């Protein structure tokens, strides 16, 4: 990622991700979460 003041130099980008899952789900929402859980990530 380019540094803000020097376009020809690159640096690290640090990202913070916060994932919040709901505590109460409808039947349809629960099925969708289970479907997501079963997905396989391919590189």
Q: Are 25 and 18 in contact (CB under 8 A)?
A: no
pLDDT of residue 37: 87
Q: Which are the contacts of 10, defined by CB distance < 8 A and separation ≥ 6?
A: 1, 2, 3
pLDDT of residue 38 exceeding 80, the answer is yes
Band (4; pLDDT cuts 50, 70, 90):
low
pLDDT of residue 43 exceeding 70, the answer is no
pTM, rounded to two decimals: 0.42
pLDDT of residue 1: 60
């Amino acid at each position: 990622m380019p540094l803000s003041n020097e376009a020809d130099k690159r640096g690290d980008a640090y990202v913070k991700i916060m994932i919040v899952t709901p505590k109460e789900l409808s039947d349809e929402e629960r099925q969708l979460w289970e479907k997501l859980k079963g997905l396989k990530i391919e590189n």
